[in-house]
Structure 1
């Protein structure tokens, strides 16, 4: 049974000493819909968020997020052109814990609503570049994952092998992906600080400026392309092109293959959706993933003999990428 806003407000006052809540109202449900949340307004006009996980996955996500937020010191945050939540306090409740954060202002970003010529698209690219130019030492010092290109490549191959073992992935796609993993220049990159779980839902904006970024539970040192693949789901191509251009300009990056790897990761999201369906024994999810895989074959059939290499960049249909990323976010 869901807790009332008044109950959540009472929990918040237990979590944060001196918090004087004047009003509490409903606020979202978290990335996967498994948090009880409330927006709190204190008598001095400040706003806070309280979140109570309602599943083991949500609890693990919240715990990882707290570790990352603590790693993001004041000095590190000062390098970012947007706000990041601050942990305020916590209190135990029903075998888990309620956590209070200060409120980050802004409206959720809707990729489909970004018009051509909008400054929000390049600003998204610059915001991601700001993450990737952070010093790596604070991530390692916090004991968070630090992955090398070789380890990232091995994990990519593992996903492909697991998907192949289902015998449901078209051979043409497996060949395409295998050629990409064998393309040495594609994997010659310098790992950076990455958020690791970015999507349009991660960002808050106001007047085409990125004002905040939520969800840091996957903070690590890894492949910057992991933070970029979701941009390929935007309709029309403008958002991805403008964001990637601004990203590359901001980073001054020598990683010329970042967009190629982003495309590979986008395609492999379908394989992950398939694996999720087989793990959950969901015929509906498996059938959906298989349909998407065959749709992907149709989309790139003229390029299957070339691969996703550093010399070629076959482009999936925008609608196909968007549907794929939408399904992954719902998983």
Structure 2
């Protein structure tokens, strides 16, 4: 059951020395999630956010997020054109802990909304490029994951093999994905710092700019394409603007096959969904995944070649994909908010021709030796309400979120603190 906002507000005063809360309200960026969250106004003018996980997977994500936030030192943060949450304090609550961070103002947007305005789309592209341009030394110093191009390839192979072993992966997709992982040119890239779990829900928008980026639990040194598949599959008119701005900001650092790998990662989300159903013994999820995989096969335009080509971008219904991304775990952690994917709305050949004219980074990669060696967002319970005997007169420009009230606080959670 969701924890009352007043309980979390009181807990925050124990987590942060000297904190006096003047106003509090439940905070939510979605439904059906893993955290209870409350936005706080302190008497000293600070705006804070306290989040408490509701499951073991959410607690694991929270722990990984804290490691990443501590790795993002003031010097590293100064290189980013947006805000990143700052850790303020924590306190035990039952078998877990609640974490207090600084609150970052801004609104959540869907992938299509982020790429429907040319200026905002460009800001998103530059924000992603800023992450990928960070110096990589702090990743190793903090003990965060580091993956070479060859290891990224092997991880994709392992995922495909696991999906194939279920006996439920269409042969056409297996061939398509195997040809992609067999293509040496696809895996010649220089790894960068990546958010690792980036999608539309990661961004906070204030006006027509990116005010913050949330959700850093998968921070790593890895393939930059992992942060871009949601951009390639957005249907907004300015999706190309996002990629163009990203490429320009990378100053020749983006490789020519970036878009193809991003599309591959998007398709592999369906394999993850299938494996999630297998691992949880959920026949409903398995049947759903099989149906989505069949839809992907049907969407491939060039049926004479099942390889991952630039003109065979797949397409799925947006509603199906949003639901899938809401519920599919990534690397053992829950995916929190949806973005569209697996569409052919972007001409990858144009991106490749543009990139091939740049300087590029030194390639990294290599062939693999074998194929068999590697072995939900915040809660909002409308039935739970709690009176808030706190002064709400100083909210100022902090407008209540959709569905929230300043006089009552429905138990709810935040998608990404």
TM-score by length of 1: 0.94
What residue is the counterpart of 1:243 in the other structure?
Answer: 242
What residue is the counterpart of 2:314 in the other structure?
Answer: 316
CA distance in 1, matches of 2:203, 2:173: 32
User: Contact conserved, 2:114 with 2:200, CA < 8 A, in 1?
Assistant: no
CA distance in 2, matches of 1:108, 1:9: 23
User: Contact conserved, 2:173 with 2:306, CA < 8 A, in 1?
Assistant: no
User: Contact conserved, 2:157 with 2:181, CA < 8 A, in 1?
Assistant: yes
User: Contact conserved, 1:269 with 1:325, CA < 8 A, in 2?
Assistant: no
Asked whether 1:42 is paired with 2:39, we answer no
**Aligned-residue CA RMSD (Å):** 1.8
CA distance in 2, matches of 1:245, 1:21: 44
CA distance in 2, matches of 1:133, 1:212: 17
CA distance in 2, matches of 1:256, 1:214: 28
What residue is the counterpart of 2:268 in the other structure?
Answer: 268
- 1:264-300 superposed Cα distances (whole Å, 9 cap, x missing partner): 0001101111111111111211111111111111111
What residue is the counterpart of 1:211 in the other structure?
Answer: 211
What residue is the counterpart of 1:93 in the other structure?
Answer: 93
What residue is the counterpart of 2:257 in the other structure?
Answer: 257
What residue is the counterpart of 2:326 in the other structure?
Answer: 329
- 1:70 positional shift: 0.3
CA distance in 2, matches of 1:222, 1:292: 28
Match of 1:24, SS state, is strand
What residue is the counterpart of 1:200 in the other structure?
Answer: 200
Match of 1:119, SS state, is helix
What residue is the counterpart of 1:164 in the other structure?
Answer: 164
- 1:254 positional shift: 4.2
User: Contact conserved, 2:114 with 2:124, CA < 8 A, in 1?
Assistant: no
Stretches of structure 2 that go unaligned for 5 or more consecutive residues are 329-417
CA distance in 1, matches of 2:137, 2:238: 32
- 1:207 positional shift: 1.6
CA distance in 2, matches of 1:243, 1:141: 31
* Bigger helix share: 1
Structure with more relative contact order (C-alpha pairs < 8 Å, separation 6 or more): 2
CA distance in 1, matches of 2:223, 2:31: 22
Match of 2:302, SS state, is helix
- 1:36 positional shift: 1.2
CA distance in 2, matches of 1:304, 1:219: 39
CA distance in 1, matches of 2:289, 2:317: 12
User: Contact conserved, 1:149 with 1:188, CA < 8 A, in 2?
Assistant: yes
Asked whether 1:185 is paired with 2:185, we answer yes
- 1:240 positional shift: 3.0
- 1:73-127 superposed Cα distances (whole Å, 9 cap, x missing partner): 0000000000000000111121211110010111012223346443111211110
User: Contact conserved, 1:107 with 1:204, CA < 8 A, in 2?
Assistant: yes
- 1:321 positional shift: 6.4
Stretches of structure 1 that go unaligned for 5 or more consecutive residues are none
- 1:304 positional shift: 5.3
User: Contact conserved, 1:232 with 1:321, CA < 8 A, in 2?
Assistant: no
- 1:244-276 superposed Cα distances (whole Å, 9 cap, x missing partner): 111111102241111100000001101111111
What residue is the counterpart of 2:174 in the other structure?
Answer: 174
TM-score by length of 2: 0.75
User: Contact conserved, 1:233 with 1:321, CA < 8 A, in 2?
Assistant: no
User: Contact conserved, 1:233 with 1:322, CA < 8 A, in 2?
Assistant: no
Give aligned pairs, total: 327
Match of 2:40, SS state, is strand
What residue is the counterpart of 1:63 in the other structure?
Answer: 63
